[in-house]
Every structure is written in C-alpha cells, then in structure tokens.
Chains A and B, each alone.
Chain A
Amino acid sequence: MGKGSLRDLGSACFFLAPALFLYITFVIYPTLDLFRFSFTSWDGVSPVKQWVGIRNYQELFSDRIFWQAFRNTLLWAGIVLFLNVFVALILAALIAEPIRGRVGFQLAYFLPAVQAGVVTATIWRWMYQPNGVINTFLRTVGLGRFARGWLGDFALALPALAVASSWMGMGVNIAIFLGGIQNIDPALYEAAKIDGANRFQLFRYITVPSLYHTIVIVLILSTIGAFKTFDIVWATTQGGPVRATELLATYTYKKGMLEVRYGYGSSIAVFLMLLIVLLSALYFFQQKREA
C-alpha cells in the first residue's frame, strides 16, 4: 500500500497540475538553463553563447575572491544560524514560561520580521553610521571606546550586517518554536519538576528533544535563507570594504551582471546551490539516523 501505486493518478494530475505547471516553467526550466549557461562563456547580452566546458569551474577554483566569498558566506551563515536558531529557541522557551504580556513580547519579536530587505538595510545603514544611533548611544553610556565605523571596519562589517539580517529573521523562528513548545505535553514538565529539575534541565532534556524535528526544519530553512542573502549586503556595503562582506550571492551578481560574464556568474550560482543541497542533505540524513 505504498504511495507509489497508480490508484490515484488521475486525481493527482488534477490536483498537482497548476502547481507543477508554474514550478516547472518558472523554476525548473530557468534552473536547468542556469546549469547550461555555467558551461558557456556567455556575457548575458549577446545572442552568441559559446560552449567552454568546465573552464568556468576551473577558473572558480583558482579565484581568490571566490574562496573569500565562500569563507565569508560560511561565517555569515554561522552567525545568522546562531542568532536565528539557537538564540531564537532560548527566547521562545522564555516566552513559553508563565509570564504576563506574552503577546506583547511575541509582537515585539515579530515586527522586524515583516520588514522588506530594503527597509532593514536602510534602517541599519542609518544606525551604523559613525555618528549614528549606535555609536551615540555607546558614547552616552560611557562605552565610547566601542564606538567605531561599523560598516567600514574590516573585521566587524560582516558580523554587523549579520546581526541586522538576524534582526529581521528571528521573529518567524521564535513564533515557530513557540508553537512547537506549546504543543509539548505539560505532563512531561510536571513529572520532571517533581523530580526537582531546574529550568535549564527542563530546557535541555525535555524542550529540545521534543522539538527535534522542528529544529531541523528551521535549521534547514534558515541555512538556505542565509546562503541566499543578497539584498541587505547589496544595499549597504556591496561586498565591501574590500570584500569583507562579499558573499557568494553578491559575487554572483557582480560577475554575472556587472562584469557581463554571465556564464562565470552562473557557475558560482551553481556552486552555491550545490552547497545548499549538500548541507540540507546532511541535516536530513542526520535526522533520519536519529529517528
């Protein structure tokens, strides 16, 4: 009685038709095109697309900036995942406690989540200015020595933008985690509390394991989102200063569109996609093994 038998083929076609039509036409087909173009030296404009085999990929491996973008993307993902998954989970657990004003807190975390990337970039670019809100605040409370030109600082520009990006993304994850926590059988908690468990133990031994599936899904989705990030970096530093915030997505754009080397840009995009697939597959198999 597997899902593979033919019984419902007719109905399936009906139900799936609109979704599959849209998806295949506007996602699958362009993605296949993307693969195809990565083997050409097409500039994106001329009608001529010359096949060059794996030359783009060979160039990729010796491209110093590509590897820097790769490292930056990993670092970016690391910071964003830490904030958007780990910290979000903790905050969700805290909100789940019997406190008043829960709705208010949820709202506060969710408001940034409905911002457009452009808006977030505008707001944070303004806040990170050398004489902007953040530095003025630091100086006012006597922490002036921490004030600096955030988006011009080679070491801090990337983390600074990652924080801005997390600001936007945390809210959704907190809502998801909160939903999951509220589904956990309270009896589990009661039993543990009787045994004298404190808050941290409850979190570690009951909350986290119960949410395992949810955490994996959120991890995958957040990773995918982090790797695809473009808007916020482009609207603030365009990968600068000196490629300190160059991510794979911005590098694809630079090479593909700005430098009119669409073929090469495609190969970077393909690399990015394979990376995402690989990581997601890792999560999946990890989960299957544990189950």
Chain B
Amino acid sequence: MKRWFLLLAMVWVLLGWSALSWGAEKITLDIWMQGEPGAVTIHNTILEEYMKLNPDVSITLTFMGGELFPPGLIPALKAGTGPDIFSAGTGPGQPAAIIDAGLVIPLNKYYFHYKWNEVIPPMIVNYTSSDGKLWAVGDWVEHTGMLYNREIFANLGLKVPETYEELVQIVETVKKAGYETPVALGGADKWPISHWQSMLFGYFAGPEGIDNVMFGDGRWDQPEFVEALKLLQNMAKDGWFGPNPLAVGYVEIMNEFWAGKIPMTFTGTFVVSDAFNMLGAEGLKKFGVFPFPPLPGQKIYPTEDIGGGWYISKSCKHPDVAADVLNFMLFRRESRKLLLENGFVPVGPVSDLLEEVVLPSLLEEFFEIVDKYRHNGTIHAFLDTVQPDNVTQVTYDGLQSLIAGLMTPEEVVAEIQKEWEKAKAEGKILKPGGAITSLE
C-alpha cells in the first residue's frame, strides 16, 4: 500500500509542477530583419532590454541578409512557419501580394491603443495602409542627399553649391584636378540610379506633380519627367559618373568614396550607421552632405521615404505581445534615442530628442537640411519602393540605357508609362491609404 501512495504522491507532485510551469510558459517571438548575421545592432540591445523587463517573453532576432524580401520569406509565411514579426518593404508588388493573401494582420487597434496615431506622420500612414487598415509600422525614415568629401573640397577651394551651375563648376574643377569619377554611382546595381531619378522627378514636377501620377490621373510621359531624365543623361555624358558608370556595383564604389578616392556621391541616410561603425565619429566628420542644388525656378525638396515597415504575421500566436514589442522598440522614448544615436531614424517627430542624443555628424547634417526645406514639401527618396515591380524593372533597365546613351529620355518615360498603365489596369498600383478610423 505504501508503494502505491508514494507513486500517487509523485504523480501529483509532477502534475502540480508542470501545471505551475505551464502557467509560466515562455512566449516566444521570432523576428526577422535585414542585416548581416552575427552583427550586433542596437535592435539586439533594445530587445534584450525588453526581455529583461518581461521575463516570460523570449525573442529571437534573425538577420536575413541584405535583401528587402529574402526568398525564404513568402514560402515561410504561407506555410505558417515564418517569423512572427518581420521588417520588409512596403508598397505595391510583393508587400501588396502578402497583404492581399492575408498573411499579415491589420494593426489598427494597436495604432489607437498605443497612440501611434499621434506619432506616425500622415504621409507614412498613407503608404503603409490600404482600405483603412494599417498593415505596417514604418521602420525608419530615410533621406537622400549629395555626400561630399570635405578634405577634397577644401584642398580644391570648393564651397558647397547653392545652384546647379555652381555644381557644374565643381564637377569641372574636380575633373581637372585628376579625379576620374567626380560622383560615385553604383550603376551596375541599378537601384542607385533610381535614387537620382526619384529626386530629379520630384524637383522637376514638385510634390503635387508626383502625387498626381501616383494617385491621380497623371502620366509619366510628360515634359517635366523628360526634362529630368535629360539632365541625368547629360550628366552621364559629361562624365559626372566616371568613364564606366555601369561597371561597378554600389558596395564597391562606396568603398572608394569612403576611402577618399571619389569626391561626391548621391545616396541616403541608410549608409550612416555602417559608416559610423567603420570610420568612427571622427572619421565620419570628414564627410558632409548638401541638398542637390536646384535649377533656376526650382525649389529644394527634401527627399523622404521609409526604408520599410514592420509587419506582424497572421500565424503569430501572440499578436498582442508582438505589438507590445514593436511599441517598445519603436515608440518608447529611450529606444528612440538609442536608435537615433546609432543612425536609425524612427518615424515621427524626433526634434525633442535631438538635444539629448549625440547623433552621428552626417545624420545631423541631413536633419538640418530636411528641417530647413521641409516647408517646401517633401518628395520620394525611393520611387522604386512605391511602384509596382514591373514598373520598377522597366525603370531600372531604362535608367541604365539612359546612362549609356542607348535610349532617349522620351523613350524611357514612354516605357515606364506603358508598364504603369498595365499595373493600373490590374489594380496593382499604390492605393492611398486614407485615414485610419476603424478600430479593426
């Protein structure tokens, strides 16, 4: 009899113990974002902080390399084996397909619950939502501008240009001083050229002109876009981008820029955190940024876009916890300061934080420019992220042809317009998100 009692007691103890630990079962969250595996970014630090404050949550952050859409993402989401939270592109094309297939959940209730509606600017809400539902939280804001090497400018007695003519002069001077490539352009990778295109389209058509095509009845084969591309083509013809603009990739040519071999390049704030890590605060100060100078009659429009957005997948078993993590990472004041200090600009107002953080010098300069000219209106930094993919592919190829002198500006915009119409007919262009009012 005693043996039976002992056995029963053991069983009870075991049941009781497991019941207790069931209650304390860990909630696990899988997060995917871009980056090099093994890299330790500030996101790791922030998430570790969260785990300390919430010991029943275990978060795994996996870096998926450099692409906005790793090939493994879509199959994983469809199968339900994917991440709970992930950072990916926004816009038509793959993001829209993911949304249409119901693979991510709308974030409306968190939008109001955590008061994100008071932080995220309307334009960004517009681009991360559709049909009145918020699908993604913008991850970080990016701007583009003309980076330059202060030492080279100083040595050649050059000043930051205020008009386009002055910039032409600078390029001439730089060429005569023996710099084969005045402005670095990673033409082999195609997308760096589209950053130029986005900025020039915006300068020539203005924010309203761009919005008119994106959301209204406007067309791409209008004179202002032709003029913009003509300017770009002439720049290439005049050797602004060196003798082989299409032969080198972005990473390789940026290397030469940071090494001081090329005086200028037009790129975005996304380079700051890596450059900051590579060069250190002092090394970074050797570089500055100026906005692309306008032609007569044009205004300077700061370029702006989000790098991507954070989504919560449908297969996430604890969406409330996931939203809480996102809130902690992106909207909590301390986190925002940490992100800023490391070169990631969270969406929403940051001016109140600026006094308390030490920004990388380059980022500060970008902010000054954006703040100075914001009242003119902002234009897209990366049109290729808000256009349907067929338009993007044609744009990429067309821009390469343009630089190589194989196609005229008229031909390029005609092709872009053709693809644009195709996508529009299929309903694949970006629809304006509209205000988010419903709670679901």
Instruction: State the A residues within 8 Å of B (CB).
Output: 43-47, 125, 128-130, 148-154, 236-238, 240-243, 254, 257-260
Contact = CB atoms under 8 A, between A and B. Distances in A.
B71 interface: yes
Interface in B86-141: 93-94, 97-98, 100-103
Given A129-B248, A152-B247, A259-B389, A241 B94 contact: no
B188 interface: yes
Given A149-B246, A259-B93, A45 B397 contact: no
Interface stretch (B14-22, B335-343, B373-381, B400-408): B400-408
Task: State which size class the interface on B falls in.
Answer: 20 to 34
Contact of B187 (A45, A241, A243): A241
18 contacts: A45-B94, A47-B101, A149-B246, A149-B247, A151-B248, A152-B187, A152-B188, A152-B245, A236-B188, A237-B188, A238-B189, A241-B400, A242-B404, A243-B397, A257-B71, A257-B74, A259-B93, A260-B94
A163 B246 CA distance: 20
Contacts of B396: 240
Nearest to B402: A242
A45 B78 contact: yes
A258 B406 contact: no
Given A45-B78, A130-B248, A241-B400, A260 B393 contact: no
Interface in B202-257: 243-249, 252
Given A47-B101, A152-B246, A240 B94 contact: no
A33 to B, nearest CB: 13
Q: A128, A153, A240, A242 — which one has the most chain B CB atoms within 10 A of its CB? A: A242
Q: Decide if the interface of chain A is mainly helix, strand, loop or mixed.
A: loop
Contacts of A260: 93-94, 97, 389
Contact of A148 (B94, B189, B244, B401): B244
Nearest to A257: B71
A264 B393 CA distance: 15
A259 B390 contact: yes
A267 to B, nearest CB: 16
Contacts of A237: 188
Q: Interface majority SS on B: helix, strand, loop or mixed?
A: helix
B248 A152 contact: yes
Max chain A C-beta neighbours (<10 A), residue from B69, B102, B400: B400
A236 B249 CA distance: 8
A47 B400 CA distance: 36
B190 interface: yes
Contact of A241 (B74, B103, B246, B252): B246
Given A45-B101, A46-B101, A241-B188, 18 more contacts: A45-B103, A47-B102, A129-B247, A129-B248, A148-B244, A148-B247, A149-B247, A151-B248, A152-B188, A236-B188, A237-B188, A240-B400, A241-B246, A242-B404, A243-B397, A257-B74, A259-B93, A259-B393
A166 to B, nearest CB: 21
B389 A258 contact: yes
Nearest to B251: A125
A130 B401 CA distance: 19
B244 A130 contact: yes
Contacts of A128: 247
Given A45-B100, A47-B101, A149 B190 contact: no
Contacts of A46: 97, 100-101
Contacts of A153: 247
Nearest to A44: B74
Contacts of A150: 247
A153 B246 CA distance: 8
A241 B93 contact: no
A241 B401 CA distance: 8
Contacts of A151: 188, 247-248
Contacts of B101: 45-47
Contact of A238 (B78, B190, B246): B190
Nearest to B249: A125
Contacts of B74: 44-45, 257
Contacts of B248: 129-130, 149, 151-152
